[in-house]
């Protein structure tokens, strides 16, 4: 087993990249072999960039950079895990191109629990937020670890849902552990840092750039037994995550949305391709291979995906007049016999309870509670 210093040092070599690291390690016998080999031997390996070979010519400088990185990680209470470390997540190690090193903050044992990814649109609807949060909450309450990418929208709701029941969650970042992105999720980042796990393949200080997120998505899929897509456009990062999962033989689940909603077009396409349709946590639990470690049986009424609400008769009557498809507020007012002010008051209550969704153009629709 190579020293973690050699693994980290090699990953920090400028211009080397994952493919170059793999080729060098295969030819030289691991990261320690790469650093011990001669410049001539390294130059014989095909596909290695000149700038990487130049950087490797000063092995002391390469190791010093690795040593500094490990010291900075320790100062944050974080650590690096390499591929041959027994704490490296077993599922992630099995994928086609596992990161040679991952940096984590939080208990490493959480990465080998029953992990399930929940992903979806950054610009999620209230329906998407509610379903992601509720699914994550109900799954986390049964012992499932929720994995997502700390993005706005569905990711954030999934993390928050797990945390709401003191469940476990893992955030996979497309930047360094010490970089909060997006800044709007700073509070959530701190909560996960304190009670969950932050994971990345990027060294400290790495800024978020667009090309890093597809790579981040392979880790989300790779460390999870399955991926749940709540809301996603036909071309989206969530579909990339689902495709990674399919390539690695992992389960893919999808939550149906409104038939004509472009924000659910990706989820509907997955369902057409054979993804399992998800309405409640039970639809997922029965498919997970580690079900023996998961609380079985129906959730208590307080934990079910749909909360029974006690509504005033007038509010309940208004709810029953709202269609699942969008309708104008004026039409609703005319049909309800209530004043515009009372309708506005009741709609606010219903929206806060997740029973209706307000749409552009002063329209409203009832959210499916079946």
Contact 208, 235 (CB under 8 A): no
Query: What are the tokens at 355?
Result: 């029973």
pLDDT band at 2; cut points 50, 70, 90: low
User: Mean per-residue pLDDT for 2-29?
Assistant: 91
Contact 256, 267 (CB under 8 A): yes
pLDDT digits (tens, 9 = 90+) for 131-152: 999 999 999 999 999 999 999 9
Mean confidence (pLDDT) of the chain:
89
User: Which residue is associated with the tokens 């509070």?
Assistant: 187
User: Mean per-residue pLDDT for 335-353?
Assistant: 86
Residue ranges of the alpha helices (H) in the chain? Answer: 4-11, 17-28, 31-36, 39-43, 50-56, 59-75, 90-93, 126-141, 154-163, 186-195, 212-222, 237-247, 265-272, 282-285, 313-320, 329-336, 340-352
Query: How far is 90 from 95, CA to CA, in rounded Å?
Result: 10
Question: Which domains does the chain show, CATH number per domain?
Answer: 1-75 (1.10.150), 108-303 (3.40.50.450), 313-366 (1.10.10.10)
Query: How far is 365 from 235, CA to CA, in rounded Å?
Result: 26
Query: How far is 32 from 17, CA to CA, in rounded Å?
Result: 17
Query: How far is 115 from 220, CA to CA, in rounded Å?
Result: 10
pTM over 0.75: yes
Q: Backbone phi, then psi, for 4, in 5-degree steps?
A: -60, -30
pLDDT score recorded for residue 355: 85
Entry field: residues in the chain: 370
pLDDT digits (tens, 9 = 90+) for 81-123: 999 999 999 999 999 989 999 999 999 999 999 999 999 999 8
Query: How far is 287 from 233, CA to CA, in rounded Å?
Result: 25
């Amino acid at each position: 087993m190579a020293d973690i210093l050699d693994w980290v040092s090699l990953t920090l070599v400028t211009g080397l990249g994952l493919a170059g690291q793999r080729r060098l390690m295969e030819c030289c016998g691991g990261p320690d072999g790469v650093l011990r080999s001669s410049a001539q031997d390294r130059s014989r390996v095909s596909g290695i960039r000149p700038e990487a070979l130049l950087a490797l010519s000063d092995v002391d400088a390469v190791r010093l950079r690795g040593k500094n990185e490990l010291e900075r990680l320790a100062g944050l209470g974080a650590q690096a895990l390499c591929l041959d470390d027994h704490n490296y997540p077993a599922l992630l190690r099995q994928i086609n191109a596992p990161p040679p090193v991952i940096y984590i903050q939080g208990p490493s044992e959480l990465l080998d629990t029953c992990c399930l990814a929940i992903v979806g649109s950054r610009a999620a609807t209230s329906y998407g937020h509610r379903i992601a949060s509720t699914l994550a909450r109900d799954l986390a309450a049964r012992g499932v670890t929720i994995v997502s990418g700390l993005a706005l929208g569905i990711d954030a709701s999934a993390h928050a849902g797990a945390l709401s029941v003191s469940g476990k969650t893992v955030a996979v970042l497309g930047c360094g552990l010490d970089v909060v992105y997006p800044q709007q999720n700073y509070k959530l980042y701190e909560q996960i840092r304190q009670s969950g796990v932050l994971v990345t393949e990027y060294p400290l200080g790495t800024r978020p750039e667009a090309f890093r997120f597809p790579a981040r998505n392979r880790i989300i899929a790779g460390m999870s037994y399955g991926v749940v897509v709540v809301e996603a456009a036909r071309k989206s990062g969530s579909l990339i995550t689902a495709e990674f999962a399919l390539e690695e033989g992992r389960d893919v689940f999808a939550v149906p949305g409104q038939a004509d909603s472009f924000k659910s077009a990706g989820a509907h396409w997955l369902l057409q391709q054979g993804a399992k349709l998800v309405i409640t946590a039970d639809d997922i639990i029965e498919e997970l291979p580690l079900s023996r470690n998961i609380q079985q049986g129906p959730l208590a009424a307080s934990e079910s995906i749909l909360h029974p609400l006690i509504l005033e008769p007038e509010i309940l009557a208004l709810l029953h007049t709202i269609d699942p498809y969008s309708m104008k507020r004026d039409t609703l007012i005319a049909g309800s016999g209530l004043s515009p002010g009372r309708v506005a008051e009741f709609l606010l209550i219903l929206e806060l309870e997740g029973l209706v969704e307000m749409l552009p153009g002063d329209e409203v629709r009832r959210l499916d509670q079946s």
